[in-house]
Amino acid sequence: MVERKCAGCGVVKDRNELIKITNVQGELVVNPDSKKFGRSVYLCYNNACIENAFKKNKISRILKTSVPQDLKGKLINEF
């Protein structure tokens, strides 16, 4: 069991219970299958964690790249 920390709430969970967003050569990929490698950030499957991570700009800092605002809407609608 591989555990990761949610960027929104800081709770440590199994990797399979979290949304994975990966920076693959400058492109952000929502990547639940873990087939692509690169700098990644993990979020819980709830809107509060997604909102918190975007509000505090945590995703951009962890991935060391700019994050488009439409990604937030995509994550909230999808999950």
Whole-number pLDDT of residue 72: 87
Whole-number pLDDT of residue 34: 64
The domain limits of the chain are 3-78
Whole-number pLDDT of residue 79: 79
Whole-number pLDDT of residue 68: 87
Q: Are 37 and 66 in contact (CB under 8 A)?
A: no
Considering only the top CATH level, what class is 3-78?
Answer: alpha beta
Q: pLDDT 10s per residue in the chain (79 long)?
A: 889 999 999 999 999 899 999 998 888 888 766 677 889 999 999 999 999 999 989 999 999 998 888 888 888 888 7
Burial class (CB in 10 A: 0-12, 13-18, 19+), 59: buried
Whole-number pLDDT of residue 3: 95
